[in-house]
Structures are given as structure tokens and as C-alpha cells.
Amino acid sequence: MTAIELINIHLGYPNGNQVFAGAELTVAKGEILGVLGASGAGKSTLLRLIAGLQHPHAGTVKIAGEIADDEGRYHMPPHRRDCTMVFQDAQLFPHRSVAGNVAYGLEAARVPAAQRRRRVAEVLEMVDIAELADRAITELSGGQAQRVALARCLVIRPSVILFDEPLSALDRGLRQRLAVDIRELLKRTGTSAIYVTHDPAEATTVADRIAVVEHGQIQDLGPVPELDVSK
């Protein structure tokens, strides 16, 4: 079963920037794909394309086997794609507590209070910040803030998580530890993911397989155990 499939994607900006020209990609259900590429290659555009925040001019996007974009005509709206994004800046609501931030998506989905509380507690436990539930966002470290961002995303149990350089603002040691935890959480929950980073070591820690965005294409570098990206 495929989580995501891109077929012959063409995408350019009105100013003449051609980002994708015949790009292809397949991500299996439960698979974590690490995506590398030079700055400006199109990595963020790729994630926005899958999230439905941007649309190809030609080609097909499929999510869980269902057509989400088709030849510039049909567009499935973002909220139907069952994909959520995690960014470099955690983008938390500063006026709510940690639990309040995590509860947000459940409130929006009108999950009843008792169940909400249970699911928030469960996911905070999972990302290892149960003791921070009532803490103010302004009192968190960078690493803690990213754990909250991850919890906020996991609590709604999306099929796919799209990571855009989530750890790039953190120092190296912390980045490595969090990368290991993120992989473990994705595997435990069976969540598919695309993980964009400029750090090859981080990509190999998190991902099952690596791809590179370059020259308008998405080039598959193969499964991680067979890779040595340091070369």
C-alpha cells in the first residue's frame, strides 16, 4: 500500500522558477523517507505539494491511493489529506499551556473533554514530556518546544507527517537524540513520513530510505543500511 505517490509532476512559479519537471516519488505506508537537497532545490515545495498547500501544473499526486491532484484540474483540500507538517520553528500558541497546545487539534475535531484529556496525557507521555503538561510555552527550551510540536501532531494520529527541517535550530547532540526519538515514535505509531533536512547524518538516523531533490527531479538513493552518505 502506498502512502504517497507523485507521478510526472511539473511545477513552476510565475517568475519563471521551474521547481519540478517530471518529478516522481513513491512512499510506502509506514515508510520514512529522508529528503536531502541543496538550498532552493525544492524540498519545502515538495512538502507543500503533498500537504495540498500548493498544486502541480501537470502530473498526479495520490495520497493513500486516492487522487489528490490531477493534471492541474482536481485538487483535494488540505484538511482531507490526513497529512500534518512539523516545521523548524515549532510554531506553538504562546498563550496556551503545553497541554493546551497539544489539545488544540482535538478541540477542533470536537473530541469530548474526557477523551481529550486522556489522549493529551498519553501523547505527552510518548514524547517524554509528561511533566511539562501545565508549563507555559515561553518557559520551554528549543528541544522541549519541538517535542510539543511533535505531540501536537501525533495526537491527531495523521497517516503522514511532513517534517521540514524540524531540528535545524538545535545543537548537534540534541539533534541526534531527538532524531532517534522521532524515528522510534513514527515506527511505534506506524506513521509514514517525509523528513526534509540538510544534514545527511540526521537523515540516515531517522529514515528508512533517502532521496535527493535536484534539477527538478527526486532521485532515489536507496535504503539507509546500504548508504554511506558521508562519501
Binding site for ligand ADP (CB under 6 A): 13, 15, 17, 19, 37, 39-45, 96-97, 99-100, 103, 113, 116-117, 120-121, 133-134
**Closest approach of Cβ 39 to ligand ADP, in Å?**
5
Cβ closest to ligand ADP, residue 96 vs residue 183: 96
**157, 106 in Cβ contact below 8 A?**
no
- Degrees, nearest 5: CA angle 69-70-74: 70
**Closest approach of Cβ 116 to ligand ADP, in Å?**
4
Cβ closest to ligand ADP, residue 19 vs residue 83: 19
Cell of 25: 516519488
**Closest approach of Cβ 208 to ligand ADP, in Å?**
21
Burial of 24 (0-12, 13-18, 19+ CB in 10 A): middle
Measured at CB, which residue is nearest to ligand ADP?
Answer: 100
Please list the helix, strand and coil fractions of the chain in percent, rounded to the nearest 5, in that order.
35, 30, 35
**Closest approach of Cβ 139 to ligand ADP, in Å?**
13
Cβ closest to ligand ADP, residue 117 vs residue 177: 117
**Closest approach of Cβ 193 to ligand ADP, in Å?**
17
Question: 3-class SS at 10?
Answer: strand
Site of grid cell 554511506: 228
The closest of 230, 202, 228 to 32, measured between CA atoms, is 202
The closest of 166, 128, 162, 163 to 146, measured between CA atoms, is 166
> What is the largest distance, in Å, between two alpha-carbon atoms of the chain?
52
Cβ closest to ligand ADP, residue 8 vs residue 97: 97
**Closest approach of Cβ 65 to ligand ADP, in Å?**
26
Cβ closest to ligand ADP, residue 72 vs residue 190: 72
Cβ closest to ligand ADP, residue 10 vs residue 177: 10
